Amino acid sequence: MAAASATAVAKGNGGGGGRAGDASGTRKKKGPGPLATAYLVIYNVVMTAGWLVIAVGLVRAYLAKGSYHSLYYSIEKPLKFFQTGALLEVLHCAIGIVPSSVVLTSFQVMSRVFLIWAVTHSVKEVQTEDSVLLFVIAWTITEIIRYSFYTFSLLNHLPYLIKWARYTLFIVLYPMGVSGELLTIYAALPFVRQAGLYSISLPNKYNFSFDYYAFLILIMISYIPIFPQLYFHMIHQRRKVLSHTEEHKKFE
């Protein structure tokens, strides 16, 4: 779902032209000012570069090791850095330089950050699981395309290939990412139970209890209503965006 929502919801970080489903020619609102645009271009270029670093790191580690197991360690630091850095996108919405909803953007970034820190980082035993590779690859490809989409949109020069990729590859990448995420959370469960990780029980002076194990299960269950909604929203957007461009091309 962290994989799904990142592509589905983020209309932001792209200013004019970067909005999902907002095909050319229908926009009336002004984009961010020149300073904000320059900043956003730099931000999106840096993020594109960051996720490329992760992609390259994965490939090189695979070639060096000869197997696809435990590749997490080779890209752990840039993954943490660039995914956590995406929290800035919430700020961009809050200060208005990006026309997306703060709530939706927070939701999507937080779900990614949650998986990175509260699951993968916190439960060391899952770091060697193949499911981690599954979602890392899904996220990496998605983010490289998404950030380059925003970069080009801000510069008002969006190659059709990037638009096509953004609105097509999700069809495979979403389910792939969601599978990786769910399998990873599932793998973490026994270790959380065993260590009582992030859990507090009664009695205590704040009269509060929290069972992280139960919480993770609730998170997994929440994928059931949320993932289909995001997925079909993107499918709907795809039809709108790609067919609109087809029509425009006919008249060129």
Active site residues: 174, 181
Nearer to other proteins, 76 or 211 (CB): 211
Residue 76 CA neighbour count, 13 Å, CB half: 12
CB 200 to other proteins: min, Å: 10
Helix (H, G, I), strand (E, B) or coil at 122: coil
Tell me the C-alpha distance between 174 and 10, whole Å.
Answer: 14
Q: What angle do CA 79, 81, 84 make, to 5 degrees?
A: 95
Residues ≥6 apart with Cβ < 8 Å to 223: 1, 178, 181, 182
CB 82 to other proteins: min, Å: 31
Nearer to other proteins, 156 or 201 (CB): 201
Nearer to other proteins, 208 or 251 (CB): 208
Q: Phi/psi at 210 (nearest 5 deg)? A: -150, 130
Tell me the C-alpha distance between 6 and 237, whole Å.
Answer: 14
Nearer to other proteins, 35 or 202 (CB): 202
Residues within the interface to other proteins (CB under 8 A): 202-209
Specify the residue for token string 């840096």. 46
Nearer to other proteins, 26 or 204 (CB): 204
CB 28 to other proteins: min, Å: 13
User: Are 43 and 181 within 8 A, CB to CB?
Assistant: no
CB 240 to other proteins: min, Å: 18
Tell me the C-alpha distance between 57 and 52, whole Å.
Answer: 8
Complete DSSP assignment for 15-80: -TT-STT--TT---S----HHHHHHHHHHHHHHHHHHHHHHHHHHHHHHHHSSSTTTHHHHHHHHH
